[in-house]
Structure 1
Amino acid sequence: MKTNILVAEIGSTTTVINAFNDIYSSCPKFIGQGQAPTSVNEGDVNIGLNKAIDDLKRSLGVEDIVYDELIATSSAAGGLRMTVHGLVYDMTVRAAKEAALGAGANIHQVTAGRLRRTDIKQIKEVNPNIILIAGGVDYGERDTAIYNAEKIAELNLDVPVIYAGNIENIEEIKLIFEDTPCKLYIVENVYPKIDKLNIEPTRKVIQDVFEEHIIHAPGMMKVREMVNGPIIPTPGAVMLASKLLKEEIGDLITLDVGGATTDLHSVTEGSEEVNRILISPEPIAKRTVEGDLGVYVNMKNIVERIGLEELVTNLDISSQKLEELIENHKPIPSNEMEKRFVEELTKEAVITSVRRHAGKFRDLYGASGKKTIAEGKDLTNIKYIVGTGGALTRLPSRIEIMKSIAENNKGNDLFPNRETQILVDNNYIMASLGVLSKKYPEAALSLLKKSLNI
């Protein structure tokens, strides 16, 4: 059988292969999906890739598949470990962090101001894939970024370094890293002026650096033998798909509840009313990742958040039955009660992640009386909530879970409202379409709308 493109999602536990045809036409088709355990621990992800292709052949009932291109997203090998170093936490550090998260990185360390001995020790322990240095608006404070660059250069790490700080420091930074093993990338300042974010150039470079360096990660060394197109971080791919969709249908959030984490991507300028009273700028495209909210690996964290008594009441079961559910919890629920249990976990993960991502109204009291301000990301203008990932594309109550977001607004939260429409990535291909959109944006958008039943 002949197909145009295979897209691999190389996860930390599972590798999924999606097949697409007629990609160059006005009517591209999603033709099937195969999956297999990821083989990072066997030292070669191609083993898992080949098994996923074999599974795809079985599901399509064909003996062989010939393809033009194989492209990929990856969160295998622990994803993309980054450390971020800026000047003032609420300004340059936050801007740099937004750029890194939006690109799909896992941030393991964030520092503000001059690096301390404990910070240097932590950088060595994290052993990052990328280091991001920022700090100072253009033509503003210079010394902190230079000091931090010198300290990082002294570590002599063979790690790519991105500089996205004060434009005046560029020549100095080049000299600092000249005789080190670090490959240096100079990018536009992430915070060029007070109250102005410029995170897209840094976000793009992070994805390019990831693609260049992921093939050196454990188990990924031979990936280029099979993958002949781009490889980008899976969360970054979901963000690309979300941005593509926003241009077509309007402001949205995308929720991805996984086994280990819950990711939330929002693409919205916010409302004019809230923007007028917002105390610091927010990026249009923002991602937050909740490392404690996963419905399998981190299931016990969510159980603790809900409470055993409430779970017993909600599920209408005995304490003993609940203990059995927790003890025998599987990655994919099979019977009715297991599904209801995972739905409770998913709902808690969804509400908590939205609460952490969204901003709030706050009342300040001064000599002139009460003044209302807003801080954080404004989701009040959201038109659509998109569900992707295993839980929000497969659970029976997925629509009700996403509808419950508006109902959980405490009154001062900048949450989506009750009129927001719910969309489900029925084919579970959003990340694949994000990487596909880099080369074939029209085909990716067409396939995405089909999967969402738009």
Structure 2
Amino acid sequence: MTDFHADTLLAADFGTATTRVSLFDVVEGTFRYVASGEAPSTIEPPYLEASEGMRHALADLQAITGRAMLDEASRLIMPATADGSGADVFVVTASGGPAVRAVLVGLLPDGSLDSARRLAASSYISVLDTLSLGDRRREEQRVDALLAAQPNLILIAGGTDGGARDAVLMLAETVSLACRLLAHDTKPNVVYVGNTALQEQIVALLADGAIISTAPNVLPELGAESPAPARAELARVFQELRLSQIGGLRDLAGYAGGRLLPTAQAEGNIVRYVSRALGTKNGILSVNVGSASTLVAAAFGGELYLNVRPDLGVGVNAAAVLSETSFDNLARWIPQEIAEDALRDFVFNKSVRPHTIPADATDLQLEHALAREVLRAALRTARSGWPRSAPGVRADLLPWCDLIVGGGAVLGQAPRPGASALLLLDALQPTGVATLLLDAHHILAALGAAAHVNPLAVVQAFDSGFLTLGMAITAVGATRPDAVVCQAKLVYENGTDLTVDVKAGSLEVLPLPLGQDGKLTLKPRSGIDVGFGPGRSKTFEVTGGAVGVIIDARGRPIAFPKAADKRFEMMQEWSLKIGATV
């Protein structure tokens, strides 16, 4: 009989539309991802109760693995038993639930208030109002605005360490007055991340009317943000809010030592870890498009840049994309004529019925077009906070990213790996050389939450839960249509080779099966950059994937033919080449 003691890890993630559970175990001496189960979430109104959705997700997992997770009283079996039932360790993440309503306070709009805005953007927070020294409203109007917002959270920044004092205290007094006027049962959480010399005074000022906590200054010096400690405190406050808002969640978190991590923070932890482990100057990028929210986590030089759009998704918040982009931008991804009213109806229907799945190829095209524009809108927001020093071809294009991970049901449930790869390439339009991974089972968040419990499990399990789609190489540079921009030669392990002339506007795939290695030589023409500088050739090792080695010469940004029939024809050709056609 196999001994399962102290080896089994169960991770649960509560999203707006879906609750997922993932099982990890020791296989041949190494932690590996085993399986996942999922079910519709019950954490949103009218239920606001987490355990029912989790029970159904665990039942799905049990059906897949044959291993019992719940006892006869529907309680989680912990620790794991000798027959493989239950789990030794349980971790929890959440992205769904009622919106966290927030008011941000800072000295100057382009200073500490901007830092507070970026900090709030790292979690599932809806900013309702801001206060600053530039606010021209009268004192009573500012207080009325705070009362009208009924915030769950007030985030106060301002003053570098050893800097401004009186102005910070003046703003805090306005917050204190508003908090004392709020009903006792609606005490807001106040997180102070300003001048550390004022922490004691701020706590004393706000203690009567708010639940006050502090963190090190998010802007200790001008131009030198330090968001990590403040982000951790924000995650703790998010945890307390979620545990109080959603029934059953506190009991479930009890199995995890009372710890619940925002999904975004969990994924960000792994993105930062990979960046530091690889020691690369290029980016590590993860995107996760959900029903209600979209997450973009990027790391450059080991520093994490985390951005959440809690108002933008492909389900509950699908309609928000209509204010972010135009009909033409949505329609350009659909290889057939579609009326504007029909496209709008589809988007609104997704908002009303987020659990619906595509009924035919046209529905799938519409859903993937929606996902492309949602991701592009979220990426635009995220990139505004990225470092300008991030290496790349041009400042207006995505910086070089060595690894790109795509997650969310719309990507994970695509009918073919090529469809997931094409969606990522179209939405993100990467440059240089990047490995594309698909997080079909929401493993990134699970590993991020498990890192504090068992770091070794995270390191060992990282390779087992993702699907490698392939390596994507992008050719960037001006040239005439249909001109050869690059010659690519792939030498296989058995000594055979394949040479392809890549033309401008094309998408080429060199077959290289998952797990196999090869040697790729790229010879771009003068002025064309494939990630090593304009016109520079290179030979390097490549590893295969579910799609193969992808060479994207469609331009950056992607150049579409003006004539609709030519566009449809070209899109169908791209889809066929990459294996996305159903």
TM normalised by structure 1 equals 0.80
- The corresponding residue for 2:164 is 141
| 1:318 Cα deviation from its structure 2 partner | 5.2
Q: Which amino acid aligns with 2:370?
A: L
How far apart are the structure 2 equivalents of 1:149 and 1:336? Answer: 55
**Is residue 251 of structure 2 the alignment partner of residue 233 of structure 1?**
no
Q: Given that residues 45 and 222 in structure 1 are in contact (C-alpha distance below 8 angstroms), is that contact kept between their aligned partners in structure 2?
A: no
- The corresponding residue for 1:371 is none
How far apart are the structure 1 equivalents of 2:261 and 2:309? Answer: 20
Q: Which amino acid aligns with 1:255?
A: V
Query: 1:18-417 to 2 correspondence within 5 Å?
Result: 18-22=22-26, 27-40=30-43, 41-64=46-69, 65-78=85-98, 80-113=100-133, 116=137, 117-154=140-177, 155-156=179-180, 158-178=187-207, 180-220=208-248, 222-224=250-252, 227-229=255-257, 230-249=259-278, 250=280, 251-269=283-301, 284-291=303-310, 293-302=312-321, 305-307=325-327, 311=331, 314-317=334-337, 319=339, 329=350, 331=355, 332-359=357-384, 380-395=399-414, 396=416, 397-404=419-426, 407=429, 416-417=430-431
Q: Given that residues 123 and 308 in structure 2 are in contact (C-alpha distance below 8 angstroms), is that contact kept between their aligned partners in structure 1?
A: no
> Which string of whole-angstrom CA distances, capped at 9 and with x for unpartnered residues, describes residues 386-412 of structure 1?
1111123332422122223565xxxxx
Q: Which moved more, 1:129-138 or 1:419-428?
A: 419-428
| 1:43 Cα deviation from its structure 2 partner | 4.3
How far apart are the structure 2 equivalents of 1:325 and 1:132? Answer: 37
| 1:75 Cα deviation from its structure 2 partner | 2.4
Largest Rg, 1 or 2: 2
| 1:103 Cα deviation from its structure 2 partner | 4.6
For the aligned residues, what is the CA RMSD? 3.4
How far apart are the structure 2 equivalents of 1:355 and 1:121? Answer: 33
| Structure richer in helix, relative to its length | 1
> Which string of whole-angstrom CA distances, capped at 9 and with x for unpartnered residues, describes residues 363-399 of structure 1?
xxxxxxxxxxxx9999524222211111233324221
- The corresponding residue for 2:460 is 446
CA 1:46–1:327: 2 relative to 1, 3 Å: closer
| 1:302 Cα deviation from its structure 2 partner | 3.6
Q: Given that residues 103 and 204 in structure 1 are in contact (C-alpha distance below 8 angstroms), is that contact kept between their aligned partners in structure 2?
A: no
Q: Given that residues 318 and 348 in structure 2 are in contact (C-alpha distance below 8 angstroms), is that contact kept between their aligned partners in structure 1?
A: no
Q: Which amino acid aligns with 1:399?
A: A
How far apart are the structure 1 equivalents of 2:196 and 2:96? Answer: 35
| 1:197 Cα deviation from its structure 2 partner | 0.7
- The corresponding residue for 2:479 is none
Q: Which amino acid aligns with 1:419?
A: V
Over the matched positions of the two proteins, sequence identity in percent amounts to 22
- The corresponding residue for 1:278 is none
Q: Secondary structure at the match of 1:76?
A: coil
> Which string of whole-angstrom CA distances, capped at 9 and with x for unpartnered residues, describes residues 4-46 of structure 1?
22211112232111112239x9611222212222223334312
Q: Secondary structure at the match of 1:20?
A: strand
Runs of 5+ unmatched residues, structure 2: 70-84, 387-393, 469-582
| 1:165 Cα deviation from its structure 2 partner | 1.0
Q: Given that residues 138 and 189 in structure 1 are in contact (C-alpha distance below 8 angstroms), is that contact kept between their aligned partners in structure 2?
A: yes
Q: Which amino acid aligns with 1:165?
A: G
How far apart are the structure 1 equivalents of 2:403 and 2:332? Answer: 32
CA 1:176–1:294: 2 relative to 1, 3 Å: same
How far apart are the structure 2 equivalents of 1:130 and 1:310? Answer: 35
Q: Given that residues 385 and 420 in structure 1 are in contact (C-alpha distance below 8 angstroms), is that contact kept between their aligned partners in structure 2?
A: yes
CA 1:268–1:222: 2 relative to 1, 3 Å: closer
Q: Which has the higher contact order (CA 8 A, sep 6+)?
A: 1
Runs of 5+ unmatched residues, structure 1: 271-283, 362-374, 408-415
Q: Given that residues 276 and 301 in structure 2 are in contact (C-alpha distance below 8 angstroms), is that contact kept between their aligned partners in structure 1?
A: no
How far apart are the structure 2 equivalents of 1:49 and 1:430? Answer: 19
- The corresponding residue for 1:277 is none
Q: Given that residues 297 and 304 in structure 2 are in contact (C-alpha distance below 8 angstroms), is that contact kept between their aligned partners in structure 1?
A: yes
> Which string of whole-angstrom CA distances, capped at 9 and with x for unpartnered residues, describes residues 236-271 of structure 1?
22212211222233421211112223221111149x
Q: Given that residues 102 and 285 in structure 1 are in contact (C-alpha distance below 8 angstroms), is that contact kept between their aligned partners in structure 2?
A: no
Q: Given that residues 122 and 231 in structure 2 are in contact (C-alpha distance below 8 angstroms), is that contact kept between their aligned partners in structure 1?
A: yes
- The corresponding residue for 2:82 is none
Q: Which amino acid aligns with 2:426?
A: S
CA 1:138–1:32: 2 relative to 1, 3 Å: same
TM normalised by structure 2 equals 0.64
- The corresponding residue for 1:279 is none
